Chain A
Amino acid sequence: MIYFDKVSKIYNGGSVALESITFTAEPGEFVSIVGQSGSGKTTLVKLLLAEERPTEGAVFFESSNVHTLSKRGLNMLRRRIGTVFQDFRLLPQKTAYENIAFAMEAAGRPDDEIASDVPHVLELVDLGDKMWNFPNQLSGGEKQRVAIARAIVNQPDVVIADEPTGNLDPVNTYEIVQILKKINDLGTMVILTTHNKGVIDALKKRVITLERGKMVRDDKQGKYLL
């Protein structure tokens, strides 16, 4: 369970990124967060990953406040959250296989598990034949699929996808959304931020709408309305 409790974020110089955001996301839910650029979607994700501190309020993951966790606790939390970004954030010096294996190694998983899970998860995103390619030998959609494979390989409780289709064409966008939906169907909570109307309307899942840092709508089976 994720719980935002009256969270505000004001950056230095007084620009308000988020204002008194309160919502709960339950295990197994698919929550889309929509809004125009600058509406605070990315700030919200950063707060959840404890990459930023809230100016007011608190963010809870299950029963723990993510901003009061110890370093170790924070690392443990991050291993339970898979993340996917618009810019993929793959390690350019590592192959697709190594990028995914790296996340498992960092979590301290044994070698035999890595050797069996990585090919499996790459098959899941339909990249079994590109296992040994470096990121610069992959297309945008393929890179994003590697990133998703990396996000889910440690079987996280939550997958956060921050504008995952922002750099992709409609076909690849559709494929990525289908993969996210499949992950959600298998029981993992997915939090998706996007400003792509087509994606939201096709999903028919919960939609939280942000406008200039404020939450203006929270619909159970929402559409992209602005």
Chain B
Amino acid sequence: MWINVGRIIKSGFVSFWRNWFVSLASLLMMTVTLSVIGALIFLSATLATTLDFIRSKVDVSAYFVSSAAESDIMALKSSLESLPEVLSVEYISRDEALKRFRERHANDQLTLQALDELGDNPLEASLSIKAKDPSQYENIAKFLGGSDALGRGGTTLLDKVNYAQNKTAIDKLSKIIEAARTFGYALTGILVVASLLITFITIRLAIYISKEEIAVMRLVGASNAYIQGPFIFIGFIYGLIAALVTMGFLYGLTVWLGPVTARFFTGTDILEYYLNNFGELFLILLSSGMLLGVAASFWAVKRYLKEV
């Protein structure tokens, strides 16, 4: 048994080396396939984080009239928190709002001077509400507009709810990203299928060259497993080498494109993504490469092993 395994591995290496040109062609094709798969992973990661980032920017802010008592606001906060749709509620007091305003306009002396002229704090206290899912903002906005949000004595606490203002822009952006994602997936999907097929055919052709060899092996009474072994081992080696080459290639690509993507897709640096997910990425490419190589070899050889 172990004698045979050793012989299969050795013979795999020898024919990999002696048919170097065919090996190179198969390797190249498989590297292309794995690169496309890698690109697909990057694309989906980039678009997903961008989408998440934009969604995280969406919130509903409720501004309170300056006469609203802090206890009433806190009561509204806790009733909002009890809603199942709500992820978090942040309370920004009038003082806090003023502090943030000053920070934001630290370089804008004119605005700060104007603020100082006023003497009093013109800003309103607010609640910034984030929903678990963007589609739920509608309900939260309705809730704020309803009677539950009214303070004691039926006087309204709320000055305005800014939901409607950002809504259109956010919806549009989400749609564009969703469309880009669908399009990207479809395109890479087609590329993956095409390169899978080409790899399959390349390996099949590589084994077609060996069809005489397989016939001779059968003639001298080699078992099917013994005949298939070296080819499957070569398929395995193709997968391994192609995965390594692809990882190197993707590294170069991400180093080159990293800064560009960081600017373009708000905050997603694909180089960082590559480094953080190195293990997972390598495992995906390695397993798909090996699976592809082994499966393609297996089917191609099987064709020549059919008994009469």
Tell me whether A71 and B217 are in contact in the complex, defined as CB-CB below 8 angstroms, given that A50-B308, A51-B308 are known contacts.
no
Q: Within the complex, what minimum Cβ distance (angstroms) separates A214 from chain B?
A: 23
Query: Could you tell me the distance between the alpha carbons of A206 and B213 in the complex, rounded to whole angstroms?
Result: 34
Shortest CB-to-CB span from A161 to chain B, Å, is: 13
A202 in the interface, Cβ–Cβ < 8 Å?
no
B215 within 8 A of A: yes
Which residues of B have CB within 8 Å of A102? 217, 220
* B19 to chain A: closest residue by CB: A93
C-alpha spacing A72/B4, complex, angstroms = 16
The answer, among B15, B212, B222, B307, for a CB contact under 8 Å with A106, is B222
Contact B18 A93, beta carbon cutoff 8 Å: yes
Interface residues of B in 191-233 (CB under 8 A from A): 212-213, 215-224, 226
Say yes or no: B308 contacts A106, CB within 8 Å.
Answer: no
Question: What is the 8 Å Cβ interface bit string for chain B, positions 11-31, against chain A (1 contact, 0 not)?
Answer: 000110011000000000000
A219 at the interface (CB under 8 A from B): no
Interface residues of A in 172-205 (CB under 8 A from B): none
With contacts A50-B308, A89-B212, A93-B213 taken as known, whether A75 is within 8 angstroms of B223 at the C-beta atoms is: yes
In A41-75, which residues have CB < 8 Å from any B CB? 49-53, 71-72, 74-75
In the complex, A77 has a CB within 8 A of chain B: yes
Q: Is the CB of A111 within 8 A of B223?
A: no
Taking the closest CB of chain B, its distance from the CB of A96, in whole angstroms, is: 14
Q: Which A residues touch B118, using CB under 8 A?
A: none
Contact of A71 among B219, B224, B308 (CB under 8 A): B224
A216 sits at the interface (CB 8 A): no
Docked CA distance A214–B204 (Å): 41
Total contacts A to B, CB within 8 angstroms? Answer: 55
B3 within 8 A of A: yes
A141-179: CB near B (< 8 Å → 1, else 0) gives 000000000100010000000000000000000000000
B299 to chain A, nearest CB (A): 18
CA distance A111 to B10 in the complex (A): 13
Which of B4, B220, B223, B308 sits near A150, CB closer than 8 Å? B220
Chain B nearest Cβ from A213, distance in angstroms: 19
Asked if A226 CB lies within 8 Å of chain B CBs, one says: no
B7 within 8 A of A: yes
Q: How far, in Å, is A36 (CB) from chain B's closest CB?
A: 25
CA distance A92 to B7 in the complex (A): 19
Q: In the complex, A50→B226 CA distance in Å?
A: 19
B213-A106 in contact (CB<8A)? no
The main secondary structure of chain B at its interface with chain A is helix
Knowing A52-B308, A93-B18, the reply to whether A78 touches B3 (Cβ < 8 A) is no
Partner of A110, one of B3, B217, B222: B3
- Check A78 against B218 for contact (C-beta < 8 Å): yes
- A53 to chain B: closest residue by CB: B308
A118 to chain B, nearest CB (A): 14
Find the A residue at minimum CB distance from B220. Answer: A103
A78 B221 Cβ-Cβ under 8 A:
yes
CA distance A76 to B223 in the complex (A): 9
Q: Is the CB of A107 within 8 A of B307?
A: no
* Shortest Cβ gap from B40 to chain A (Å): 37
Measured CB to CB, the closest approach of chain A to B146, in angstroms, equals 77
Alpha-carbon distance between A102 and B11 when the two chains are bound, in angstroms: 10
Q: Is the CB of A106 within 8 A of B226?
A: yes
Q: Which residues from 289 to 307 on chain B have a C-beta closer than 8 Å to any C-beta of chain A?
A: 307
Once bound together, how far apart are the Cα atoms of A49 and B221, in whole Å?
10
A13 at the interface (CB under 8 A from B): no
Asked, given contacts A50-B308, A108-B4, A111-B3, whether A72 binds B215 with beta carbons under 8 Å apart, the answer is no
**B213 surroundings in chain A (CB, below 8 A):** 91, 93
Residues of A within 8 A of B (CB): 49-53, 71-72, 74-79, 83, 89-93, 102-103, 105-108, 110-111, 150, 154
**Inter-chain pairs besides A78-B221, A106-B226, 14 sampled, C-beta below 8 Å:** A51-B308, A53-B308, A71-B307, A89-B212, A89-B215, A89-B219, A91-B213, A91-B216, A93-B213, A103-B221, A106-B220, A107-B220, A111-B3, A150-B220
Can you list 22 A-B contacts with CB-CB less than 8 angstroms, sorted by A residue number? A49-B219, A53-B308, A71-B224, A72-B223, A75-B222, A77-B221, A78-B219, A78-B221, A79-B221, A83-B219, A89-B215, A91-B212, A91-B216, A92-B212, A93-B14, A105-B7, A106-B220, A106-B222, A107-B220, A110-B3, A111-B3, A154-B220
Measuring CB to CB, which residues of chain B are less than 8 angstroms from any residue of chain A?
Answer: 3-4, 7, 14-15, 18-19, 212-213, 215-224, 226, 307-308
Ranked nearest first, the 6 interchain pairs of A and B with the lowest CB-CB distance are A106-B222, A78-B221, A79-B221, A103-B220, A75-B221, A93-B18
